[in-house]
Chains A and B, each alone.
Chain A
Amino acid sequence: MVVDGTASVVVDDGVARRLKALACTAPLHELDQRKHRLEWVDAGRYQMAEIALQAIDQVTLAMDFDTGADQGRVVRRLAPFIAAQAPGAPAAEHERIGHWVVENLINVGSVDRGFQADYGTTGPDGGYVRRRFDFKLLVELAGPDGEIYLRASDEAINVLVGALDTDVESAQVAAEVKLENLISRGRLGDARLAAEQARYRTVQYAEALRGRLDSTRRDVRSVDWLSAVPELIDEALRHIESRYRAESAILANIADARDTATEPGRRRQAAELVDVVGDCIQRHTQLQTRLQEAGATFRAEQDRQQFAGRPQRAAVDVFGQLLTPCLELDAATAAGPTGTFFSAGTGLRVPSVLSLTGLVEVLLEPPADRDPLGEELSEPELVALDTDRYSDEQWRQVSALLAEPGPPRRLSAALERARALDPRLAELVVLRSLHALGTSVATARSQGDERVCLAVDDGAVLRDAEFGGADLLVGMVDVALDEPAEPDEPTGRDEDAA
């Protein structure tokens, strides 16, 4: 942030980007913070953030063109990593932990099944504007057969790879260069890491292409087939070609390293690396097949969509003239036209007339069998909220202010003094004064309190920018324990003084 002479704050775009990147990691940290609240497990021995990263890994690796992994499969694959952290615990517990982590990464329980973070930007007038960043880590999607499966979001892949907010293409190249360097220098452990990063990049790249091909299949007009898509396909094919060559070369290199290595650890590392790079090649091949099919898809769709007859009468283009403009409106405004379309496009609500035969039928219908216990209730996870609006320090300051010796003061005077200390104190002063208005002296006496704070309304009107009402007289009074006390007396006497 830069503060210039006019004291307006400029939030750098880079800061916003980094804040967003930071926010993506928050759900992982939160897992470790919340794990101690789990009652069914001694969660201290599990590293939840680590399991979460493994889960994102597993989902990412299972993502191919058509589907991802279903939750059960991901959890099964996670089990060895979880078991390694707590070998003594039963397998059922490992599985439950796996489900807990995956569900938290989906954020089951929120309507949007995602996460939010606030960050600041500079508005058009130079002021500070708070914006909301919505993101997801694991996304649930329905497959063609209706099964629900998981995919990792772009944010999740970015968090995982650690290369935040970078261009897919350039990051891919960087990873490959790094990989070759590492192998030529014989650093196989690091080389494996780089190869895995390259594989994530490959998946991410394929995912971006998949979206384009999907939309082409749905509607030819929504994709620019004149230049943008052919360019994209050419680029992708060139990319695959160079990657294929590079990876084949790398593969030969590591195979050498594997065969000549004498140390068993090194040999194993080399073997693992061969697997990873082999998988990369397989993914490239798959991507290439899809790219080659794209042209045919386009031509078939074009035949189907473009060679239809000319319009026969003027009609509204529902997609382009109604749906898209509505999607562009803000939610509050969009409620108008979408509601109108709904009311006009859903037909009639025919009022039903109660008939005796119908009623009898309903009454005679045998009751549906119900499970007496009902559905299993999921146990809510309760998170303690910070309920204290005012800090202990603020309470102490206000107590000191109200308990000052001397005659009772006007509320307005107390407010002035409180604001001089801290503007936020004013509200607490008002609340405590209102409370003092109802203080029961009898209770104070029976509790044995020596002094009690009292407030009295003498009809004076409070003139204040923030609060309205009566300008109360507030002060501490001694409670006489022996004789009947007249609570209003001291304040009443000091009224003239105030």
Chain B
Amino acid sequence: MSGIRSQDVESASRLVALGMRPKLVPARDPGYAELVRRYGEDDAFKDVVQRVASGLGLVVLAVGPQSGAVVAATEESIFEIRMDEYARRTALANRQADKVLHGLAHLAVAALAFPRPDDLGNDSYVGRVSVDQVDAAVREACRALQERVEGTGENSDPLSEAPELEAAWRAWSRRPPAAATKDGRAGDATTRGIVGKALRFLADQGFLVPVGADGQAGTATFRTTARYQVQVRELASRRAFDELLELGVLPVTSALGTLRPTADGALEAGGV
């Protein structure tokens, strides 16, 4: 490390700083492109970049000509976005339920943006998502789970005394998809409102880009960016996967996706 000059540290810091501006891309900024190139070729520089990021409470997920520098916050870092802040505006009474619904909405957006594992792994894949699509797909998954539960003959209605033990799919399917409001927008507390908020937020973060005409709230389509793919693939899905493993929910690993019919007609998902 003795060969590192202070200018290199400055360049490395600049690359990290550029990574914090998600809407900048190397293709439109020669200086950025040069730093990205150097990261790929110069191992000593790469090490400095990673150390600078780590010192700030960040981790470098990828640096590439398409995605730019993708940096993510480590847990408890000041750069971390917390669900409590994101879901702050909801009424206190449903905050617990709303947090889960917001989290599910983000998962569903990623699931619909990259429907197959292959899509997530393929760097040239660009996914498209819309509110309609995401809400409909989650409802469909909820319906499949409901059918499966009903097929077992077990009573799955939630206990009156312990509403927090209600299954998450039930909370989603119970929430109305849309509600008429005076100003014609979808209600914030509806599932379409929650998904719409997730899409807008991801677009603000430079993860999604609106495509085509502005259109109605429900039909506006977004395409994914390389940055989002990296973020979901390298960090978000892994952390969530690990947490599910810890919870004892052991999803089956398959390259083709797991939601598929079995011989007896029941849907098999997640290997539970």
On A, residues with C-beta under 8 Å from B are 16, 71, 108, 111-114, 118-119, 121, 129-134, 136, 139-142, 144-146, 148, 211, 214-215, 218-219, 221-228, 308-351, 375-376
The stretch of B4-12, B25-33, B40-48, B167-175 in contact with A is B167-175
Q: Evaluate contact between A332 and B164: CB separation under 8 angstroms.
A: yes
Known: A331-B168, A341-B106, A348-B73. Contact between A141 and B177, CB under 8 A?
yes
Shortest distance between the CB of A345 and any CB in chain B (Å): 3
Q: Which residue of B lies closest to A114 (CB)?
A: B174
Whole-angstrom CA separation of A235 from B80 in the bound complex: 54
Q: Evaluate contact between B257 and A320: CB separation under 8 angstroms.
A: yes
Q: Which residue of A lies closest to B171 (CB)?
A: A331
A312 partner residues in chain B, CB cutoff 8 A? 118, 121-122
Known: A227-B265, A347-B205. Contact between A325 and B172, CB under 8 A?
no
Whole-angstrom CA separation of A332 from B122 in the bound complex: 34
Whole-angstrom CA separation of A218 from B132 in the bound complex: 11
Whole-angstrom CA separation of A129 from B143 in the bound complex: 25
Q: Which residue of A lies closest to B259 (CB)?
A: A320
Q: Which of A129, A318, A328 contacts B272 (CB 8 A)?
A: A328
A214 partner residues in chain B, CB cutoff 8 A? 136, 140
Shortest distance between the CB of B44 and any CB in chain A (Å): 26
Q: Evaluate contact between B243 and A113: CB separation under 8 angstroms.
A: no
Shortest distance between the CB of B120 and any CB in chain A (Å): 4
Q: Which residue of B lies closest to A223 (CB)?
A: B261
A321 partner residues in chain B, CB cutoff 8 A? 241, 244, 251-253, 258, 270
Q: Which residue of A lies closest to B93 (CB)?
A: A111
Whole-angstrom CA separation of A123 from B64 in the bound complex: 57
Q: Evaluate contact between A342 and B80: CB separation under 8 angstroms.
A: no
Q: Which residue of A lies closest to B260 (CB)?
A: A221
Q: Evaluate contact between A331 and B97: CB separation under 8 angstroms.
A: yes
Interface of A is mostly: mixed
Shortest distance between the CB of A464 and any CB in chain B (Å): 26
Q: Which residue of B lies closest to A146 (CB)?
A: B216
The answer to whether the Cβ of B62 comes within 8 Å of any Cβ in the partner chain is no
Known: A111-B94, A228-B265, A320-B269. Contact between A146 and B218, CB under 8 A?
yes
- Interface residue count for B (Cβ, 8 Å)? 115
Q: Which residue of B lies closest to A16 (CB)?
A: B155
Q: Which residue of A lies closest to B258 (CB)?
A: A320
Whole-angstrom CA separation of A214 from B205 in the bound complex: 32
A-B pairs, 6 with minimum CB distance:
A338-B103, A320-B258, A345-B236, A146-B216, A224-B261, A321-B251
Q: Evaluate contact between B96 and A335: CB separation under 8 angstroms.
A: yes
Q: Which of A131, A136, A322, A333 contacts B107 (CB 8 A)?
A: A322
Whole-angstrom CA separation of A350 from B180 in the bound complex: 35
Q: Which residue of A lies closest to B85 (CB)?
A: A349
Known: A131-B160, A317-B257, A335-B96. 10 other contacts (CB 8 A): A108-B179, A121-B155, A211-B143, A321-B270, A328-B167, A329-B168, A346-B207, A347-B231, A348-B20, A349-B81
Shortest distance between the CB of B69 and any CB in chain A (Å): 11
Q: Evaluate contact between A335 and B145: CB separation under 8 angstroms.
A: no
Q: Evaluate contact between A316 and B217: CB separation under 8 angstroms.
A: no
Q: Evaluate contact between A144 and B219: CB separation under 8 angstroms.
A: yes
Identify which of residues 176-234 in chain B touch chain A, using a CB-to-CB cut-off of 8 Å. Answer: 176-180, 182, 186, 189, 192, 201-202, 205-207, 216-219, 231-233
Shortest distance between the CB of B25 and any CB in chain A (Å): 15
A228 partner residues in chain B, CB cutoff 8 A? 261, 265
The answer to whether the Cβ of B1 comes within 8 Å of any Cβ in the partner chain is no
5 contacts between A and B (CB under 8 A): A146-B216, A222-B261, A316-B241, A323-B108, A341-B240
Shortest distance between the CB of B24 and any CB in chain A (Å): 12
Chain B 104-117, CB-CB to A under 8 Å as 1, else 0, gives 10111011101111
Whole-angstrom CA separation of A326 from B245 in the bound complex: 11
Known: A219-B140, A318-B107. Contact between A131 and B157, CB under 8 A?
yes
Known: A142-B178, A310-B118, A324-B270. Contact between A346 and B205, CB under 8 A?
yes
Q: Which residue of A lies closest to B148 (CB)?
A: A328
The answer to whether the Cβ of B249 comes within 8 Å of any Cβ in the partner chain is yes
Q: Which of B111, B186, B235, B252 contacts A142 (CB 8 A)?
A: B186
Q: Which residue of A lies closest to B242 (CB)?
A: A340
